Amino acid sequence: MFGDVRIRAFILSIVLLALFAGVWHVAVSGTEDAPDMDPAYAALMGQTAKGKSAMPGPGEVAAQIWEHISDPFYDAGPNDKGVGIQLGYSIARVAVGFIAALLVAVPLGFLIGMSPLFYRALDPFIQIMKPISPLAWMPLALYTIKDSTISSVFVIFICSVWPMLANTAFGVASVRKEWLNVARTLEVGRLRTAFRVILPAAAPTIMTGMRISVGIAWLVIVAAEMLVGGTGIGYFVWNEWNNLSITNVIAAIFFIGLIGMALDQVLAQLTRLVTYSE
């Protein structure tokens, strides 16, 4: 039983988690009281007026996480919504922006990968646009679109399109020439070759690009929602920071990581389904 690598890895993960929680608890409980300070400055620094550290311990954070899980969809007004609602808004924005990027990047990547002419023509534009931070587009999006939700979706689109575009073009261009030669020998049409030969061969690389894109999109949506406010897990984090609720901030970080892991695992499983061994 214990010879199974997965079981041993799971046990090691639990041990590391317990060790981390123990160190966290000792670090927080062992903090010496600091001298008294001005209450306004103390609030800014995340401490009480008497100087005691306001950093919560693992028990407090675990209790807060359980409270969020027990009632995730409550709605008590614009600035007081359950973490499930906030995550739902964020996931929806990521999904819309990601799907829009998918519909653009994959066909364009096919075109670039199959045509050296289009590759040379579009490569300068890609190399210029790719390094630009997605958040740099937010002011321009807000100015032109004048809607915070659509602007957030646009930023997700921008950050998602480049990894998928690059991986699709690379996957299509890397299809083995002998497979394409066989298709030509059998007089298979270009459209059928694209769907029956090139797409299955490039699918693992395309899925890798999608996996990278969704990870970047989930990172960016948190920062974008902090900027535009309203709803979403990013706004929730910023709002709780303004309320000096460090416990809720840490709980939100846990949920962000959990959803990010879930999104990555879904696409990792899809990648395995389209990956083949020769």
- Altogether, the residues listed in the chain come to a count of 278
Task: Centre a 10 Å sphere on the Cβ of residue 5 and count the other Cβ atoms it contains.
Answer: 7
b/e per residue 158-193 (b: at least 16 CB within 10 A): bbbbbbbbbbbbbbbbebeeeebeebeeeeeeeeeb
Question: Full-prediction pTM beyond 0.95?
Answer: no
Rounded CA separation 158/94 (Å): 11
Domain residue extents for the chain? 84-274
Q: Which CATH class is domain 84-274?
A: mainly alpha
Task: List the chain pLDDT tens, one digit each, 278 residues.
Answer: 445 888 888 899 899 999 998 998 888 886 544 444 455 544 444 444 444 446 888 889 999 999 999 988 988 877 788 899 999 999 999 999 999 999 999 999 988 988 888 888 888 888 888 888 888 999 999 899 888 889 999 999 999 999 999 999 998 888 888 877 787 777 777 777 778 888 888 899 999 999 999 999 999 999 999 988 788 999 999 999 888 889 999 999 999 999 999 999 999 999 888 887 66
Asked if 82 and 88 touch (Cβ cutoff 8 Å), the reply is no
